[in-house]
Amino acid sequence: MANLMNEFPSIEIKQDEPLMHYTYTHTGGPADWLAFPKNVDEVKQLVDYARIHQVPLTVLGNASNLIVKDGGIEGLVLILTKMDAITVDHNEVTAQAGAAYIKTTEVARDHSLTGLEFAAGIPGSVGGAIFMNAGAYGGETKMVASSATVLFPDGKIKKLSNQELDFGYRHSSIQDSHGIVLDATFTLQAGDHDEIAAKMKELNERRAAKQPLDLPSCGSVFKRPQGYFAGKLIHDAGLQGYTAGGAQVSKKHAGFIVNIDHGTAADYVAVIHHVQATVKKKYGVALQTEVRIIGRN
């Protein structure tokens, strides 16, 4: 592969860059090439290059609900956090894919728009929220996302409606089409600024009281199994505090795995497999991961 820094001198690109510097778990091996496009045109240039030269392409949002394996990621990795503009038009908030979901909720609040309060503490990006239909406290992205602009692997850009995004539990059509979310529009309702702010404060206080926000983690590790709560199953199985290497089932919230001492991705995966095997043996429930696990071993 040619030297991408020479191919795209106007784009910030790093070679053999450790992804542990960017993930919420503080784990992950190097990306062969890591690029930080600033706009849609730069994303399109990089995607076109990867397609033409058959370079593996991976897009990361805020790398919050993600485990990158210790072998890193082959080919070209895009991090879109430089694409973070947020605009408001009447009751619609449009945010670029790299904008923090939390920041988007704050902009909505500042414009007295209600509907996004549930996402006040979700640490991912807007692109990631669309990709996995992020949700919390009874709210889901599908309830407010009216459309998203998506760049498809063939280089075409299309605006998808809520229906075309085909949201499900921690799922959207983006996962199947391998498209890249460029921006999303949220249709909200006029509300009372102080009430919106109070609701966001309440949810953030509840989150801080229950979740291990003081330690690196990948957020909620497991999907909610039908008829159960993953955290309760893990708690009841006596797994809180279970440790492999530097990764541990949180003693504060059983649904989280935290990095307590220079844990590696392999440590995280070992804890996940042990939890899955134990819960399956004790309760007959197969826990499915919500966190994405990607990269080379």
Q: Which of 64, 147, 170, 172 is catalytic?
A: 170
* Residue 206 designated active-site: no
Q: Which of 64, 147, 172, 220 is catalytic?
A: 220
The per-residue b/e assignment along 77-86, b for 16 or more CB within 10 angstroms, e otherwise, is bbbbbbbbeb
Tokens 């819960």 belong to residue? 279
Give residues with Cβ within 8 angstroms of 143, minimum separation 6: 115
What letter would DSSP give residue 168?
B
The two most distant CA atoms of the chain are separated, in Å, by 56
* Residue 170 designated active-site: yes
| Strand 86-89 relative to strand 73-79, pairing | unpaired
The DSSP code sequence of 38-105 is -SHHHHHHHHHHHHHTT--EEEESSS-SEEE-TT-EEEEEEE-TT---EEEETTEEEEETTSBHHHHH
Which phi and psi (to 5°) does residue 184 adopt? Answer: -145, 145
Quote the CA–CA distance of 81 and 258 in Å, as a whole number: 24
Task: Compute the Cα dihedral for 261, 267, 269, 271 and give only its sign.
Answer: negative
Q: Give residue 72's identity as a one-letter amino acid code.
A: G
Pick the closest to residue 188 from 99, 88, 109, 113 (CA basis).
Answer: 113
Other beta carbons within 10 angstroms of residue 12's beta carbon come to 14
Quote the CA–CA distance of 146 and 95 in Å, as a whole number: 12
Active site residues: 170, 220, 290
